[in-house]
A and B are shown apart, each in its own frame.
Chain A
Amino acid sequence: MKTLLIAEYRDGKLLGTSSELINFSAQLGAGSAMFLVGSENALPGYSGKLYLAEATPATEFNPGLHKQLILEVIAKEQPQMVVLPHSSYGWDLAPRLALALNAAQISEVVEIKDGTLVVPSCNAKLRRQVKATTDISVVTLQGGAFTPADDPTGAPEVIKLEATSGGDIQFKGYEAAAATAVDLSKAEIIVSAGRGIGKPENLQMIENLAKALKGEYGASRPVVDAEWAEQSRQVGTTGQTVTPKLYVACGISGAIQHLAGMKKSEFVLAINTDKDAPIGEIADVLAVADLKQLVPILTEKLNAL
């Protein structure tokens, strides 16, 4: 088995996901080569062949061009599997490759089981073991699922690729994340509100609990999207990453993108009406209760201490 690993690069930086690709490939017991549109000044720790095209504003985000270059590398390397991170770069590019290769795509792999791949379904409430029936497959890996214990080392053997611009999508630069009014990354105690709060007025009880615990309040994405809380309160892959001593998740189901932002919390208390909510997988304590009842009582009792 041979894999082609597609590393990610953005705005002058190599993204950390390449180590997960390398580890995944090693777990499969496969040989590998790597592809990157990036820079010679930011090479991954990797001992293998690295096909490298120089990133410029016209080539850095250009899925049509990346597809073309990768197809050329595939013709040379003949891998049985093309591996990408399940990220904004990976899920955009993977189906383009899959169709061009007549390959089945397996999205968001979380585990290798008996040589086949496992993906989540229904907000991680189910897992599907799947198999491609095509000779070559394209897979994307869930962030964090294959993080190696130690970062891979080594210096790649760089093979330069010629990248011309062009293509039917124009990339016009980045827009920085909105300035954060609240720096949750330094908070020691965070109480977060999820969609389970039901209506904006109920955010107050989350704030009150946060105050009673002398912490900050945070929010899951739907609460921010609905404009019940500011963007700077959002915890998760597209929000802030937090590492408090105590994280209280109120009415939050525990989607992977939320977990990614808070799973390094020291102690997690979840309050949820759904006993099977995936947040239970990482919570130290799951209180199965209606937050509208439990949160005010808990706050009152804490204030009386």
Chain B
Amino acid sequence: MLTKRIIPCLDIKDGRTVKGTNFIALRDAGDPVELAMRYCEEGADELVFLDITATTEKRKTLAKLVREIATHINIPFTVGGGIHTIEDVSLLLEHGADKISINTSAVNNPILIDQLSRNFGSQCIVVAVDTKRINNRWTVVTHGGRNPTDRITSEWAKEITARGAGEILLTSMENDGTKSGFAIDITNEIATSVSIPVIASGGAGTMEHFSAIFQHGKADAALAASIFHFKEIHIPDLKNYLFENKIPVRC
């Protein structure tokens, strides 16, 4: 049986792993390669590396770091942050990334999704969608939630699926960093209305939050950062808990 995936996310700034609340007030969480190897050993199903400074400071994700990660870890990983062009993607894939994630550049230039999936295959194109309730509608936001767009999240999810994205990484900016649980309603709405996998992100604080996002949110995967980095939740314990709660996981 296909299992639900647990994905630690490493936010990278200047080659270090950092974690903040709502993408500001950054705290240092350690060396990304070392952390990545620890998560592999503990049974993480995939990893995501986001260069969180790349979009705002227009800086390219460090291909060198990607190479370093690729030579050390034996599970799939996604790299995101500041990716705008086919050349950006080529470089990262050549350095060993399995998938790339685009966010702001997809919102600004949706045809990029078509171009990337045609060139590299849908399976390596993850479209990250940051969302927030504005006037009671889940709306797409960019730049860490600072910039609202005029796109409705559910419509955008359908559009990016049609354009050839392989997966959706859905982050509720309201929940991100709060440890109060994932946004179950919008995750369920998206997961049950598109044909591609949905990775839920933002708000994980307890093991119950993970079982809820799989059972009620219908997510295919769940992503979290600080609770893993600061060892508040140990991945093997989380997997055991999910297994006992009849959620298929790789143990």
Q: Do A and B bind each other?
A: no
Q: Residues of A with Cβ closer than 8 Å to B?
A: none
Task: Report B's interface with A, CB cutoff 8 A.
Answer: none
